[in-house]
Structures are given as structure tokens and as C-alpha cells.
Amino acid sequence: MLYAFEDFEVDSDQLELRRGGEVRPIEPQVFSLLELLVSNAHRVVSKEEINEKVWGGRIVSEAALSSRIRSVRLAIGDDGKAQRLVKTVRDRGFRFAGEVETVGSMPAASLGVIENLTPSDGTVDPAAWEVPQASIAVLPLEPLVDDPLKTPLADAISHELITELSRLRWLHVIARGSSFRFRGHDVDLPEVGRILGVRYVVSGSLSIFGEACTVTLELCRPETRSVLWADRIETSLDELMSLRVTLCSRIANHIEGRIQTDEGQRAASLETHHLDSWSAYFRGLWHVNRFNAHDNEIAGHLFERAIELDPGFARAHAGLSFAHFQNAFIGHTRDRGEQVRLAREHASRGYELEPTDPFINLSMGRSDMLRGDWESASVWFDRTTELNSNYSLAFYHRALSNAVTGDGVEGPNLAMRAISLSPIDPLRHAMLATRAMAHLNQDEVDDACEWSDRAARVPNSHLLIWMIAALCNEIGGRSDVARAWSERAIALDDRANKERFLRAFPFARPDFRARVERTLTNLGF
């Protein structure tokens, strides 16, 4: 359905809000609330009905509902004082007061898609616009097959990839009904980007000859024709058929990481006063992943700006929670108690807004870590993997939890699962160091030394990582290497001591904790 009022259109098929034909930025949950109000413009919509249809029956606070109503009003040029379009009906709910025209179907032009790419006059003149958030179209894979009956498998893989990418709440994914209009090896990617209004395009091919299958994929920025990521996967036909969903899930994980990096680089090129909430968030991610006090402070200000511009931006709250977590965990600031409180506060706010976002669930687990409740933290990390079975950070944090609580048997495998899912992750140093501690827990000292050294050599590693390397090498009898890492840590921060280390890693096994404490004392911590 298409609902039109004033110069706005609410498109329930494409999940888009448009003004004057141009797509307006709006979060999925805010869109759902707006659609509910607009589609019931003839009556008052109760808070109970909003809870049922927008939050899936989960009762949320008045503050959460008020935040979403404010976001709806902001998106359509209204405010709480004027209430020109969205009116509050005291003690009952909300009513949409605008004149709404309902259309059962709409022409392709208003979808931003050309129905016929070769019109009668032979020209193509699509209306171009820029979607102000990360957006992607997955084109159908080009089938290179020895049997026409195998051709549909190419479309099936592309469709599975669309499904997996659509699980990312922050990513605007074009439906297959639009993206599948573009087929063949000679597709003009800049034209696709303009027609569909996307920043990113995935294209590729599926080659099947006998039992041998090859999937090639490219992630591109269409306006520059630049390739951001590419992969070639060789497998058998039987494996492709049985592992299709798993394969697409792993591909989606790689694409997510590359888009986040690219969005951060794009935001870094903007002047600060021109940043919208989306750009401020991604620039904040870049700074927070530098893992030093200066960049972390900048990240906190950027996440705060993103929230100020859009109070309902759930991931910005999770980002701010991470900045406070880092302050408390690494020890960038001296007010640890306040940082622990703020990390939990913003994680909870993010969860209130988007309870199924993996990053936000991870933030809840991190905040439990800071409070010393590792058992509850593990529950959050497990829930995160349920939401996204290829979320590398969830496996890393689960490995860390095992190392701290003493359940270290699965630690190395969990850490390696995280590394394999995200080989160039900003937290690679932490993943490697966690594997080292898991080996140390099992008294596999040589392995612990090897992995801790690899972690400490990663460019953005920090104080705690160097202390882990010093600890492992000292226990492993490599005192010269241990002293080098300990001196580096102490030179960076004179507060590098065993109390700070054990506050970050409160090992549950008394014998292991005592061994760590003795070793750190010997190293001068």
C-alpha cells in the first residue's frame, strides 16, 4: 500500500518514506509506527496497540514510546508543540490528523525503479537521489552453467544473500523485485546505483560445470566503479545446495564489515558541522576502534552528537556504551564507577529501542562484564549469536568469558571462529590475546606465548594486551620478551599494575588467579 499526505508518501511495500519523490531517512521501527498511525488515520491508536504491533507485544516504557513519537514527528516536519499531523489524545493514545489518500499500487517511477529500461524513445532518464544511509542492492548472479536446469540456482543464491543482509537493521536493502530487473554481465553499475538510489551494489556470477561450482562476488561503490571487496568460492554442487544459507550468511558478514569501514571513511571526509546522525555514528566507530584515550573521547562526543540529532538511533547508544566500556575496561579515565554506570545506561537504552540488534545485545553483555557478572554476560553473548550466527565479536566475547571463568577448553576454538569470521577486525588484537589466555588456562604455555606475541604486535593493541604478552612470556620462561612488553606497558601508563589487570580479568579459578598475580608482581606491575 501507498499512503499519501501533503507532499509525503509512506510506501509499505518498499518500507520507504518519501517527500517530493525523494527518500527520507527513517529507522525501521519509526517507519512501522508512522505506517500504523497513517493507515489508521480515521481513529485513535492506543498505546496497547502500538506495543503489540510495533514492539511485538513487549511492554516498553513511556520514554521509549515518546522517543519514537518524536522521531515520527521529526520525520514528517511536525513537533510535539504544534501536533499538526500526529496528535496526542490524553490517556488514550495517538491519532494521525492529516488527510491521507490510500493507493493500492503505485507506478514504478515512484519506486525509484524504471519499469521499462528501454522506453519507446530509446532513452533512459531516471530521477537520481542519494539515500542518506548505507544502502545496498544485490543483483542476480550471472549463471554460467552447462545445464539450463541449474540456472535458477544463481537467483536462489542472490535471494538468500538479500535475506541475510536484510537482517542488518541499519542497512537499507533493496527488494529483489527491483534489483532483479538488472541482469547480465554488461549492467552499468552507476546507472543501477542512480536508479535504485543505493551506495553499494553486489554483483557476480555462478559457474557450474559438472559437479564443480564457483561463486564470484564483488561489492562496489557504483558512482566510482570501485571494488571494495571481492571473493571467489569454489565448492561442489552438493555442498552448494546443502550449505547455501550458511554460505550466504558468511558472505553477508564480510560485506557488513566492509560497508561499515567504508561508511566510516566517508564520514571522516565530512566537516564536523555537516555530519548527520548516521555519519557521526560511523565516524565515532572509526575513533572508538583506535583503542586509545584521545580517540575514545572523540568517539564519545560523536556518538553523543548522533543521539542528539536522532534520540531514537539505537546503535548510537550502543556505540556510546562501548566508549564508556572502553574507559572502564582499559582504564582511560579514573572514574571507573561512573563509566560502568553509563555503559549500562546506554546499552539498556539501545536495547529498549532495538532489542534484536546483535551489536546492542553484545553491549548489554559487555556492561555485565564490567559489573563482574560474567555468567549473565555469557547469556547475552549467546543470545547475540542466536541473532546472528556469524557475528565475530560474539564468539570473541564468549571466548573471553570462558577464559575468565575457567571454562577454557572451548576458548581457543571460539577465538579462532571469531578471527576466521572477521580476519581484519579492529578487535583482532583482543581475539588473539583471548586465545592466548585460553591456552594459558589449559597450561599450554608455548601456544599462549605465540598467540600473545601476535596480539601485542597488532598496531592498535593497547596496555592490557601488552600485559597479557608479558604474563604469558614470563610464565613460558621467556623473561627477556616478557620484560620488553612489561616495560612498554609501564612506559605508556604508570597506572599499569596487577590490580588494574585483575579488575579487567577477574579470573575465577583461585590457583590460576594466584599464579597470574605472582607473575605480574615479578614483572614490576
Considering the domain architecture, whether residues 242 and 142 belong to the same structural domain is answered as yes
The pLDDT tens digits for 166-184 are 777 678 888 777 788 888 7
Task: Say what the pLDDT of residue 76 is.
Answer: 93
User: ∠ at Cα 46 (42, 48), nearest 5°?
Assistant: 145
Confirm if 169 and 28 have CB atoms less than 8 A apart: yes
Separation of alpha carbons 425 and 78, rounded Å = 41
Considering the domain architecture, whether residues 211 and 300 belong to the same structural domain is answered as no
Report the DSSP pairing between strands 8-11 and 172-173.
unpaired
Task: Say what the pLDDT of residue 271 is.
Answer: 63
Identify whether 82 is part of a domain.
Answer: yes
Going by the DSSP 8-state scheme, the letter that residue 330 receives in this structure is: I
CA distance from start to end of the chain: 66
Complete DSSP assignment for 191-218:
HHHHHHT-SEEEEEEEEEETTEEEEEEE
The parent domain of residue 304 ranges over 272-389
Considering the domain architecture, whether residues 55 and 184 belong to the same structural domain is answered as no
Identify whether 479 is part of a domain.
Answer: no
The pLDDT tens digits for 222-234 are 888 889 888 888 8
Task: Say what the pLDDT of residue 113 is.
Answer: 32
The pLDDT tens digits for 220-273 are 998 888 898 888 888 888 887 766 667 787 788 788 888 887 877 777 666 655
Cα of 86 vs its chain's centroid, Å: 31
Considering the domain architecture, whether residues 363 and 255 belong to the same structural domain is answered as no
Considering the domain architecture, whether residues 281 and 259 belong to the same structural domain is answered as no
Identify whether 522 is part of a domain.
Answer: no
Looking at residue 249, which CATH number applies to its domain? 3.40.50.10610
Task: Say what the pLDDT of residue 259 is.
Answer: 85
Give the CA distances from residue 227 to residues 86, 223, 231, 255, 378, in Å, rounded to whole numbers and listed in that order.
Answer: 44, 11, 11, 12, 38
Identify whether 417 is part of a domain.
Answer: no
Complete DSSP assignment for 168-180:
-TTSEE--HHHHT
Looking at residue 38, which CATH number applies to its domain? 1.10.10.10
Q: Band of the pLDDT at 118, cuts 50, 70, 90? A: very low
Nearest to 406 by CA among 289, 339, 505, 288: 505
Query: In 1-99, where do the E strands start and end?
Result: 2-5, 8-11, 16-19, 22-24, 45-46, 86-89, 93-96
Considering the domain architecture, whether residues 225 and 295 belong to the same structural domain is answered as no
Q: How many domains does the chain fold into?
A: 3
| Bridge partners, 227 (sequence order) | 220
Report the DSSP pairing between strands 226-236 and 86-89.
unpaired
